[in-house]
Structure 1
Amino acid sequence: MNGLKQEKIKETLNATRKRRKRQIPRVYQLKLQNLSKKDRKKLDRLFLEAKWLYNYIIADIENRLTKDSWKLKQVEIKTPEGFEKRDINTLSSQMRQGIIERIKHSLKSLKKAKEKGIKAGKLSFKSEIRSIPLKQYGITYKISGDRNRIKIQGIKKKFRVLGLHQLIEDCEIANGLLVKKPSGYYLYVTCYLQKEKALEEIKKKQTRQPIGIDLGIKHQITLSNGEKISWYVEETKRLKKLQKTLSRKQKGSKNYFKTKLKIQKEWEYIQNKRKDTLNKAISHLKKFFLIAIQNDSIKGWHEGYFGKQVQNTGIGGITARLKRLATLIPVFFVDRYEPTTQVCSFCGHRQKIPLSERTYKCPLCGKEIDRDVNSAKNILKIAVEKLKGEGKLLKTLPVDCGEVTPVEWAIAHGEAGSLPL
């Protein structure tokens, strides 16, 4: 019987893998609404038991990380008075399996880092766990769209959620993640959509024009067509005031933790504003048929003189988002060492130009152009020339100084961050 069961599991896994090749993942955020004090206590207990289990296994990995670790129903925790035993009642078996798999994944990552020569320590204890994996839809959690309710394994009550309208009818719901934030509790639902439908939606809004992108500090995004996009979301006055208030509170007191929670909520508000701005910028870039961008070292900018500007704009997220977008539309990454700023986009003359000069003046052809626009044009030109040489364009783009014309691409999509096949 066990052999037949394993064969069925393998067959279903293989069928799922084949199906996933024709799909793309999307994560939707649902917020739990109208929570009473009793509901919050139950959810807090769930996250507390997850912390107990995690820290218990981390304390003695060699002996406690076994095949049957998920069966633990009682753990020993350290308190100011000594060690005490705690029962795990709310955390379901599949949730425990998810936490143990997370520990194994972290250990593998540490091992790989050490093999590469990176200094890596060991897994440390957590004072708080803010996410619990929900492995299987229909078992660890269920959604009833007619009443806008969700059911979480281990809790009898169904919770009302906000945001179910985001889910598309034909999507395939997979695993989820229960997240605890300062503003409340959220359920992150992973859904798989058909690639063809997702591409059709993008193509409806898409223009047949390629674009080059230059990232910067003053203007976060400069496009090869001369368009500039800038934003700056700095820390609020309220946050600074709360940080001053926290410094005067006695550490460990009730007022200390209340103020700390207010600071966390304010940080969440600032991060949400930055994410929203970044989402709007990426949705604008989706309109272009081909995107070319230089793979700049944003981390180097952050560690240098422009740390505050990089942090307050979240510019580093643009490259990461475009790498994910490359599974749907062609995105080309130009090498970071290409001298895109020094070369004239009209005649190809190269000269050194200081950072203070914001206009590129070519002594050879006499053309004057904005420094960032010149760089964006060069990025697009390099991408087109390389793709043309590799036979990935059916109709090539002109690489002169004039306006670029539409380009026909071979229909294929490579892995994120790589060239389209």
Structure 2
Amino acid sequence: MKTAKAEKIKQTLKETKERRENQVCRVYQLKLQNLSKKDIEKLDRLFLEAKWLRNFVVADIENRIKDYKYKEVEIKTPEGFDKREIKLLSSQMKQEIIDQIKDDLKSLKKSKEKGNKVGKLKFKSEVRTIPLKQYGVTYKISGDRNRVKVQGIKKKFRVLGLHQIPENAEITKGYLIKKPSGYYLHIVCYLPKEEVEREIREKQIQQPVGIDLGIKHQLTLSTGEKLSWYIPETKRLKRLQKILSRKQKGSRNYQKVKKEIGKEWEYIYNKRQDALNKAISCLKRFSLIAVQDDSIEGWKKGLFGKQIQNTGIGGVTARLRSLATLISVFFVDRYEPTTQTCSFCGYRQEISLSERVFKCEGCGIEIDRDVNSAREILKVAIELLLWMLRIIENGGEGKLLKILPVDGGEVTPVERGISLVEAGSPSL
């Protein structure tokens, strides 16, 4: 009986894995609405129990990580140790919390193998995410009434944002998130890859683009366009931080001000993400995107820490890497001298950071240095693409896979790459 059940699970996992190869993952955010005081108390209790359970397991990982059926846990209080009952956390929630601890341990092990100094897992003062493993069991959605049922809580919560989820989406696991502005449900869905690619292609223009990342202008395109945004800390945030410094740590007024600071930080983060989303949406219209793999972390540690933080430019390359499975994205090596090379004749010369116009000593052309760099990045990427296509045509797919970087995106099918070059190669 057990063998048959195990085989059935194995077969189901295999089918799911095969299905995922032709699907695209999307996460939709729903906000819990019209919460009463009792609802907030229950949700707060749920997150509190998640914190108790995690810290209880972390306190003695070797002995406690093997089990998840804890009905009560021991916590540390100012008076000593006391026991607390787990009332709202379901067995699947408990299991997922412990699985997260296992994943954290694996990450620490990998980091240690790379030669980094790592310590032990630390206790958390607050847990803000509760995984909901199985749709239909851990949580359910009632689309006709815009309601969501979370396991362990009898009441169905009204949610805002269900209209975002397409009808053909395959709903899987979810995450209950606690933010300063309220409670949210993040739902992981899988959409047919062909339909998503078709939607992107319908909006695309058959033109490639090179991108130069910068400080003054965050994105400079080879077409001459420049995208800039700068979202600094607000005056209200600075005022609240001053007020917090005068409050007694741990007092009620201290917690109230801290909560307001959290809301303000969330507001700033949302504005930065909105700017980033608009920039990525602008880039998705091009058939081929070429960008240099610059060390944004190095910029932040240098002279431009505040500018990098207030623009969130590091998220551009991260988002492009995730898009590499849907559109053609090429990353040029960070050590490629694109700023010093003329994009017209290929002449290389030294240029200081203060020089904003590139004056070529070879052909005499004068061009904005960032636009020149973006054009050179695109030129290098197209040369790399043509070189890869020649290797594939000569039957060297195995050799190519060994050379390609992990985050280089998809290079197959060959016909797609050829059409991109033929339709969009600029006369550089």
Q: Choose which of 375, 400, 418 in structure 1 pairs with 2:409.
A: 418
1:76·1:86 contact (CA, 8 Å) conserved in 2? yes
Cα distance, 1:62 vs structure 2: 1.1
* 3-state SS in 2 of match to 1:138: coil
* 3-state SS in 2 of match to 1:136: coil
In structure 1, what is the equivalent of residue 17 of structure 2? Answer: 17
Cα distance, 1:36 vs structure 2: 0.3
Q: Distance in 1 between matches of 2:73 and 2:88?
A: 13
Alignment of 1:352 with 2:343, yes or no, is no
Q: Distance in 2 between matches of 1:122 and 1:418?
A: 35
Cα distance, 1:176 vs structure 2: 0.3
In structure 1, give the amino acid aligned to 2:162: L
Can you list the C-alpha shifts for 1:91-128, whole angstroms capped at 9, x where unaligned?
00000010000000000110111111101111000000
* 3-state SS in 2 of match to 1:418: coil
In structure 1, what is the equivalent of residue 33 of structure 2? Answer: 33
Alignment of 1:45 with 2:45, yes or no, is yes
* 3-state SS in 1 of match to 2:351: coil
2:243·2:257 contact (CA, 8 Å) conserved in 1? yes
Residues 82-121 of structure 1 correspond to what in structure 2 (within 5 A)? 82-121=80-119
Q: Distance in 2 between matches of 1:337 and 1:175?
A: 41
Cα distance, 1:418 vs structure 2: 3.5
In structure 1, give the amino acid aligned to 2:318: A
In structure 1, what is the equivalent of residue 204 of structure 2? Answer: 206
2:325·2:410 contact (CA, 8 Å) conserved in 1? no
In structure 1, what is the equivalent of residue 400 of structure 2? Answer: none
1:327·1:416 contact (CA, 8 Å) conserved in 2? no
In structure 2, what is the equivalent of residue 404 of structure 1? Answer: none
Q: Distance in 1 between matches of 2:283 and 2:179?
A: 30
Can you list the C-alpha shifts for 1:322-346, whole angstroms capped at 9, x where unaligned?
0000010000000000000000011
Q: Distance in 1 between matches of 2:188 and 2:376?
A: 38
- Percent identity over the alignment is 69
1:94·1:135 contact (CA, 8 Å) conserved in 2? yes
Q: Choose which of 242, 248, 251 in structure 2 pairs with 1:250.
A: 248
Cα distance, 1:392 vs structure 2: 6.8
2:22·2:192 contact (CA, 8 Å) conserved in 1? yes
In structure 1, what is the equivalent of residue 270 of structure 2? Answer: 272
TM-score by length of structure 2 reads 0.92
In structure 1, what is the equivalent of residue 214 of structure 2? Answer: 216
CA 1:169–1:106 in structure 2 vs 1: closer, same or farther (change >3 Å)? same
In structure 2, what is the equivalent of residue 286 of structure 1? Answer: 284
Structure with greater helix percent: 2
2:90·2:151 contact (CA, 8 Å) conserved in 1? yes
Q: Distance in 2 between matches of 1:6 and 1:391?
A: 44
In structure 2, what is the equivalent of residue 384 of structure 1? Answer: 382
Q: Choose which of 313, 327, 330 in structure 2 pairs with 1:329.
A: 327
Can you list the C-alpha shifts for 1:355-399, whole angstroms capped at 9, x where unaligned?
0000000111110000000000000000001110111799xxxxx
2:328·2:409 contact (CA, 8 Å) conserved in 1? no
Q: How many pairs are equivalent?
A: 401
2:129·2:178 contact (CA, 8 Å) conserved in 1? yes
Cα distance, 1:223 vs structure 2: 0.3
2:30·2:162 contact (CA, 8 Å) conserved in 1? yes
In structure 2, what is the equivalent of residue 123 of structure 1? Answer: 121
Cα distance, 1:140 vs structure 2: 0.3
Can you list the C-alpha shifts for 1:158-183, whole angstroms capped at 9, x where unaligned?
00000001000000000000000000
In structure 1, what is the equivalent of residue 156 of structure 2? Answer: 158
Q: Distance in 2 between matches of 1:59 and 1:47?
A: 18
2:340·2:348 contact (CA, 8 Å) conserved in 1? yes
Q: Distance in 2 between matches of 1:418 and 1:208?
A: 19
In structure 2, what is the equivalent of residue 402 of structure 1? Answer: none
In structure 2, what is the equivalent of residue 364 of structure 1? Answer: 362
In structure 1, what is the equivalent of residue 131 of structure 2? Answer: 133
* 3-state SS in 1 of match to 2:239: helix
In structure 1, give the amino acid aligned to 2:292: Q
Q: Distance in 2 between matches of 1:65 and 1:103?
A: 8
Q: Distance in 2 between matches of 1:417 and 1:102?
A: 29
1:223·1:376 contact (CA, 8 Å) conserved in 2? yes
1:327·1:415 contact (CA, 8 Å) conserved in 2? no
* 3-state SS in 1 of match to 2:389: coil
Cα distance, 1:70 vs structure 2: 1.3
> Aligned-pair RMSD on alpha carbons?
1.4
Residues 404-415 of structure 1 correspond to what in structure 2 (within 5 A)? none
- Unaligned runs of 5+ residues in structure 1 are 395-413
Q: Distance in 1 between matches of 2:87 and 2:406?
A: 42
Cα distance, 1:65 vs structure 2: 1.2
Cα distance, 1:417 vs structure 2: 3.9
2:321·2:407 contact (CA, 8 Å) conserved in 1? yes
Q: Distance in 2 between matches of 1:65 and 1:23?
A: 34
Cα distance, 1:416 vs structure 2: 4.7
1:149·1:158 contact (CA, 8 Å) conserved in 2? yes
Q: Distance in 2 between matches of 1:251 and 1:382?
A: 56
Q: Distance in 2 between matches of 1:203 and 1:287?
A: 8
* 3-state SS in 2 of match to 1:89: coil
TM-score by length of structure 1 reads 0.94
In structure 2, what is the equivalent of residue 178 of structure 1? Answer: 176
Q: Distance in 2 between matches of 1:393 and 1:205?
A: 31
Cα distance, 1:265 vs structure 2: 0.2
Cα distance, 1:419 vs structure 2: 4.9
Q: Distance in 2 between matches of 1:304 and 1:99?
A: 38
